[in-house]
Amino acid sequence: MTKTAWVFPGQGSQAIGMGADLVDMPEAIAKFQQAEQILGWSIPEICQSEDDKVSRTLYTQPCLYVIESILADALITKGQSPAVVAGHSLGEYVALYAARTFDFESGLRLVQRRAELMDSASEGTMAALIGFNREELDTKLAETPNVVLANDNNAGQVVISGTPEAVDAVLGSVKAKRGVKLNVSGAFHSPLMANAAAEFQSVLETIDFQTAQVPVLSNVDPTPATDSATLKDRLVRQMTGSVRWREISLNLPQAGVERVIEVGPGKVLTGLIKRTCPDIALENVSTLADVERLVG
């Protein structure tokens, strides 16, 4: 039997209209209603809004969590199961839900508070670099205070995070095919999120974590783990720590994974994994039709 990993994308994969095919699915309707009671607003309405409300952090993260959770449950209902799971930033919450580390409501309440804190963050900025010399970048980051490697996506694509001055200094001195500032409200996955992380930890401590049913590769520690205390500790560190996606990708074949299914909108993660692990089979599940095709 092919050993399969499920991976869940985070912020940046959202799109207007995502989840439109789920609105008539009984199991999805129940989750949308439950989410509206918790959030005070409608996931389908935000996702279908033509003014791109879904791209505001406050809405993006809960929308992705709910839609990806529904798709994961649809796969499980059809008899599918992963050997290991991982998620990129926000996606790690869905990975933990899919591994049954916590229930749907607990995960959504965590994501809601995380989104509120990150949406209100006003200190710092982020920038993506594509096509660069890794050694040059690492040296410049080490020499420049107040900027860190936030997302290590693959060998040729990273995101840096820090104060505007420090991010500009790195962008101006490291040769890259492309360097672009991101439209975000703060310096996510950096020490500048320490206050938000401390506030978030008080919410996280109220949530009961269970032993994961399958191993989870975490952003801050890409080694497989199922222990509830370990997974919670890793989540505590995620808001200020780097997303080590390149290492997660490299650890998949080491764990015997032969196939990766990206569960959620877009194809961001399979695109990143393809560059790092070209021999792994890649599939995407972003709609109910994709679920049916996969299990067909």
Positions annotated as catalytic residues are 89, 189
Helix (H) or strand (E) run with residue 7 in it: strand 4-8
User: Do 194 and 236 form a contact (C-beta atoms < 8 A)?
Assistant: no
Supply the angle between the helices 164-173 and 134-143 in degrees, to the nearest 10.
140
**DSSP bridge partners of 8:** 87
- What's the farthest any 2 CA atoms get from each other in the chain? 55
Instruction: Report the b/e string of 276-291 with b at 16+ CB within 10 A.
Output: bbeebebebbbbbebb
Q: How far apart are CA 267 and CA 18, in angstroms?
A: 13
143, amino acid identity? E
Query: Of 37, 36, 97, 41, which is closest to residue 65 (Cα–Cα)?
Result: 97
CA dihedral of 94, 202, 120, 142, whole degrees rounded to 10: -80
Please state, in angstroms and as integers, the Cα–Cα distance from residue 72 to each residue in 57, 68, 149, 263, following that order. 22, 6, 30, 7
* Residue 9 CA neighbour count, 13 Å, CB half: 26
User: Do 257 and 208 form a contact (C-beta atoms < 8 A)?
Assistant: no
189 φψ region: left (φ > 0), alpha (ψ -120 to 50), beta (else): left
The secondary structure of 269-296, three-state, reads HHHHHHHHCCCCEEEEECCHHHHHHHHC
